[in-house]
Amino acid sequence: MPTVLVTGCSTGFGREIAAYFLEQGWSVVATMRDPSASSLPVSDRLRVLPLDVTDARSIAEAIAEAGAIDVLVNNAGIGWLNAVEGTSMEVVREVFETNTFGTVAMMQAVLPGMRDRRAGVIVNVSSRTTIKPLPLLSIYRASKAAVNALTECAALELAEFGIRARVIVPGSAPATSFGSTARAQIMAKGGFPEAYAGFAQQTLAAMQQPASGEVTTARDVAEAVFRAATDPDCPMILPAGADAIAWSEGR
């Protein structure tokens, strides 16, 4: 049976992606920084491994233990919401280390094996914020836009080896903990600059009440990732969720 390795599986999209592949009969390697946090169903087709995508040794150990990987899903990521002026370079580096450089590192780790087998798929999870700009998401959006560009170019490099690369663009998913975690990080790191306080409050209020009422579920993302993994005709960039689809269509 085919094997998928998914990063960031403790909660949210990653957990649902891993669970969905299990439902489809796949062998799943679900990775997360703390495997004890896993709430995935017990299965003889599931392995839960520790992995920090910002740590080269952690990546090497996880890949060695996982064995041959047919599909890599780069889902691990962190959110950030603040003005450029209110974001320290330390935070900028942290966001890019996880969202962008971690994605590159994981691709580099699995590609030698995929090239040897002349088969494989890499699915990188991005964000609807790459479709159109939103205030206070400049750093986060930049980290995910880089993932889009990376994947598009890598797909051209890898095609001759029988390897596909695709991007999933999820919309806003209020049912997950992603947004609340990002907001907690903001407050822990000093909050918004005073000059932006009023603007930030208005922006946050607008974000919490989508004009269309359309949102994304973790299941939407899991189904899109599975399509990217199994459908050779899947678009290079595939929106996941009603709001992401609406944005991609200019609505």
pLDDT tens digits, one per residue of 64-80: 999 999 999 999 999 99
Amino acid identity, position 68: A
Average pLDDT, the chain: 93
Q: Is the pLDDT of residue 53 over 90?
A: yes
pLDDT tens digits, one per residue of 129-141: 999 999 999 999 9
What does the pLDDT read at residue 183?
65
What does the pLDDT read at residue 205?
81
Q: Is the pLDDT of residue 218 over 70?
A: yes
pLDDT band at 233 (very low <50, low <70, confident <90, very high): very high
What does the pLDDT read at residue 174?
76
Choose among 103, 94, 54, 96: nearest CA to 186.
Answer: 94
What does the pLDDT read at residue 185?
72
Distance (Å, whole) CA 203 – CA 200: 5
What does the pLDDT read at residue 175?
66
Phi, psi for residue 170 in degrees, rounded to 5: -75, 155
Find where tokens 């995910």 sit.
Answer: 144
Q: Is the pLDDT of residue 195 over 60?
A: yes
Q: In what order do the strands lie in the sheet with 46-50?
A: 46-50, 27-32, 3-6, 71-74, 120-125, 163-170, 237-240
DSSP bridge pairs for 32: 50
The answer to whether 165 and 111 have CB atoms below 8 angstroms apart is: no
Q: What proportion of the chain, given as a percentage, has pLDDT over 70?
A: 93
Q: Is the pLDDT of residue 211 over 60?
A: no
- Segment 229-251 shows an average pLDDT of 94
pLDDT band at 179 (very low <50, low <70, confident <90, very high): low
List active site positions.
140
Distance (Å, whole) CA 164 – CA 180: 33
- pTM for the model stands at 0.93
